[in-house]
Amino acid sequence: MEKKRRFALIGTGNRGTTMWGTDLLAGWAEHVEMVAIVDRNRLRAERARAMIGAEAPIYTELDPMLQAVRPDLVIVCTPDDSHDDIVVRSLESGADVITEKPMTTTVDKIRRIIEAEKRTGRRVDVSFNYRYAPTAARIKTLLDAGEIGRVTSVDFHWYLDTSHGADYFRRWHAYAKHSGSLFVHKATHHFDLLNWYLGSDPQAVTAFADLKMYGRKGPFRGSRCRHCAHMKECDFYFDLEADPFLGALYEEPSKLDGYFRDGCVFREDIDIPDTMVAAIRYGNGVHVSYSLNTFQPIEGHHIAFNGTGGRIELRQYESQPWEVPAQDTILVVRNFQKGAQAVERIAVPHASGGHYGGDDRMRNMIFKPGMSDPLAQRAGSRAGAVSVLCGIAALSSARAGTTVRLAELMPELLGEQLL
């Protein structure tokens, strides 16, 4: 009989409690057993444990848990800048690790993780669930089959709406020291998708980024939405109590650590951009034009692969003020063809579960024994590192007004790449 993997959950915010708590135990309990919960905030951990319906002991520090429980696997769901320390100490205790994205936030932290993984011989998985969405898998299959010849360039534009986009400006994500900026925190998903789709590493990045809506650009400000004097006039007013799940997990526990879930999006000290573009050149010569916007009336993305034989195009709808079918349509348009033959429309129904079924498929890949991986969807520390490095390069390019070559940031990972 298969031995269950004994895992410890670190960080019981929304992501830890749902994806790696309730949902993991609901669907994969024959493969895993939760043996400990760690969160600095004991009250949030207690709330999370009740929501998950687990009986695992709660710790507020990592090391005593590692020593007492000796889990086989540690799942890291804390803020991004704390991942490295937890990953390294867990590997050193003999556990494998799954870390939420981004793997980490700085070059030194990437080095620490990769060095510890090599030294301990344990494994780090990075939670790149977007690779597993059925539409992404279909696009990868089309590209690998050479349906549009050799890819020469990619147009990739990601839109966050005034709800989800604003959410990154309410709390720790809004500070580069905690999230690496959205070029790292959010775009790690997008850069990873590009790296995986193209089967190549980014070489050089030129980026621009500005703050145009949130932070000091706002018309007025408070500290948090609850009791704010501007709640009636503010379009970004967020009523935490209207969501019983978030209210229970964050409001009362905030009394222990002052971590408010509804921080003002117009706080003066917000230091990350909300509007970003990047031009990226890949090792295989592909050019990418990328953008990320955070206060749109729509949510979703547009991606187009331009090849020597045609073009693959997708507009994925996640939220918009009009009805769309519960499916994606991939357009494959071929050069020098006419009429119906020129375009193939491939419908991919949305799968249930988070990230259009990506979350479930990723958990299957990681936890079900004997899974094959023909599309190389399972992502480890190298994938985590390269996508973070691309974001670090983009932020540094935008700040310095220069082109940044990734090999200069981390030659040991990317080697000598010449343009």
Ligand X SMILES: NC(=O)c1ccc[n+]([C@@H]2O[C@H](COP(=O)([O-])OP(=O)(O)OC[C@H]3O[C@@H](n4cnc5c(N)ncnc54)[C@H](O)[C@@H]3O)[C@@H](O)[C@H]2O)c1
Residues near ligand X (CB under 6 A) are 10-16, 38-41, 44, 77-80, 82, 100-101, 127, 129, 185
CA nearest neighbour of 186 among 112, 272, 260, 270: 272
Least separation in angstroms between CB 370 and ligand X: 25
Residues 6+ apart with CB under 8 A from 244: none
Residue closer to ligand X (CB basis): 355 or 405? 355
User: Which residue is nearest to ligand X, using beta carbons?
Assistant: 13
The one-letter amino acid at 353: G
Helix (H, G, I), strand (E, B) or coil at 158: strand
The backbone torsions φ and ψ at residue 14, rounded to the nearest 5 degrees and listed phi first, read: -55, -50
Least separation in angstroms between CB 320 and ligand X: 20
Least separation in angstroms between CB 219 and ligand X: 27
The one-letter amino acid at 196: W
Residue closer to ligand X (CB basis): 44 or 405? 44
Contact assessment for residue 135 and residue 275, using Cβ atoms and an 8 Å cutoff: no
Residue closer to ligand X (CB basis): 86 or 330? 86
Residue closer to ligand X (CB basis): 129 or 294? 129
Least separation in angstroms between CB 179 and ligand X: 8
Residue closer to ligand X (CB basis): 77 or 383? 77
Residue 287, token pair as written in the block: 């050019």
Residue closer to ligand X (CB basis): 203 or 387? 387
Q: Are strands 32-38 and 58-59 parallel, antiparallel or unpaired?
A: parallel
The backbone torsions φ and ψ at residue 203, rounded to the nearest 5 degrees and listed phi first, read: -105, -45
d(CA 293, CA 277) in angstroms, rounded, equals 9
Contact assessment for residue 304 and residue 143, using Cβ atoms and an 8 Å cutoff: no
Residue closer to ligand X (CB basis): 104 or 203? 104
Least separation in angstroms between CB 257 and ligand X: 6
Least separation in angstroms between CB 227 and ligand X: 21
Residues 6+ apart with CB under 8 A from 408: none
Q: Are strands 202-210 and 275-282 parallel, antiparallel or unpaired?
A: antiparallel
d(CA 138, CA 197) in angstroms, rounded, equals 11
Least separation in angstroms between CB 8 and ligand X: 11
Residue closer to ligand X (CB basis): 11 or 71? 11
Least separation in angstroms between CB 150 and ligand X: 31
Residues 6+ apart with CB under 8 A from 299: 159, 160, 161, 164, 165, 318, 319, 320
Q: Computed from CA positions of residues 68, 73, 78, 84, in that sequence, does the dihedral angle turn out positive or negative?
A: positive
Residue recorded with tokens 């915010």: 13
